Amino acid sequence: MEPRKHHPSSSRTDRASGSRAACTIWLALASLLPVSSLLTSCATGYYAENGARGGHEYRRVDTNTFQVTFNGNAVTSSKRAKDFALLRAADLCLEHDFESFIIQQQVSHVDTQTYQTGSYSTTNASYYGNANGGTLYGTTTTTPKTRTVSKPSAGIEIYCFNGDPPPHSGKTYQAAEVREQIRAEYEMEEKPNGKTKAKLKPNELLQYL
């Protein structure tokens, strides 16, 4: 009797396929970036504004009104910038004992910069002669390498309240629900140092390739 052949489960195959896909993305990224850049590059997390790293900041206009801004780095998607601005708005609403808010104004912007990262050379050679000898002529062309970096930012002005919304106010956001939904979407968790860790999504990684 022949021994029974073992067939791996579909779930194991799916996991393997997912792992191979993830490895393919990282290998592609590694071929374009220095190792140090690959290890240290990550999208802007959910924390207060921190210079070149970006982050969120706000200004309180009056008792009920706040202006919130979120600035991202080169690996941050425009969607993340908008979501984190909205999350900060929800947090501010709850921190100041409000349940709901409306968006009075919102803006978004992408700052694009192009800079030179080095150069590469190509040589074209031609041989003139016969089997007994000849001359090799060549020309070398040096081309500068450039890279374009895009950094998104998003800003919203909110009006916070409890109870019924103001008349003609448009969509009402429940702060607790907004907070829960966005934190779940980015699988956010609090770190021991007080900062919030947020998952880097595949589309944010791919836009950096």
Higher-pLDDT residue of 81 and 195 is 81
d(CA 25, CA 169): 44
Number of neighbours of residue 180 by Cβ within 10 angstroms: 12
- Give pTM, 2 decimals: 0.66
Task: Report yes or no: 71 and 105 within 8 Å, Cβ to Cβ.
Answer: no
- Tens of pLDDT, residues 119-165: 666 666 565 656 566 665 667 767 777 888 899 999 999 999 999 99
In this predicted structure, what is the pLDDT of residue 133? 63
Task: Report yes or no: 41 and 208 within 8 Å, Cβ to Cβ.
Answer: yes
Phi, psi of 207 (to 5 degrees): -70, -15
What the block records as the tokens of 195 is 């900062």
CB-count exposure of residue 208 (10 Å: 0-12, 13-18, 19+): buried
Higher-pLDDT residue of 152 and 3 is 152
In this predicted structure, what is the pLDDT of residue 132? 64
In sequence order, what are the residues at sequence separation of 6 or more whose Cβ sits closer than 8 angstroms to the Cβ of residue 12?
A: none
Judged against a pLDDT cut of 70, whether residue 180 lies above it is answered with yes
Q: Which residues is 130 bridged to in the sheet?
A: 133
In this predicted structure, what is the pLDDT of residue 121? 62
Angle, CA of 139, 141 and 145, to the nearest 5°: 165
CA end-to-end span of the chain: 53
d(CA 184, CA 181): 5
In sequence order, what are the residues at sequence separation of 6 or more whose Cβ sits closer than 8 angstroms to the Cβ of residue 30?
A: 38
- Tens of pLDDT, residues 54-98: 899 999 999 999 999 999 998 899 999 999 999 999 999 999 999
3-state helix, strand, coil in the chain (%, to 5): 30, 40, 30
In this predicted structure, what is the pLDDT of residue 189? 84
Task: Report yes or no: 88 and 178 within 8 Å, Cβ to Cβ.
Answer: no
- Tens of pLDDT, residues 10-65: 444 444 444 444 434 433 443 444 433 433 357 888 988 887 778 999 999 999 99
In this predicted structure, what is the pLDDT of residue 179? 97
Judged against a pLDDT cut of 70, whether residue 207 lies above it is answered with no
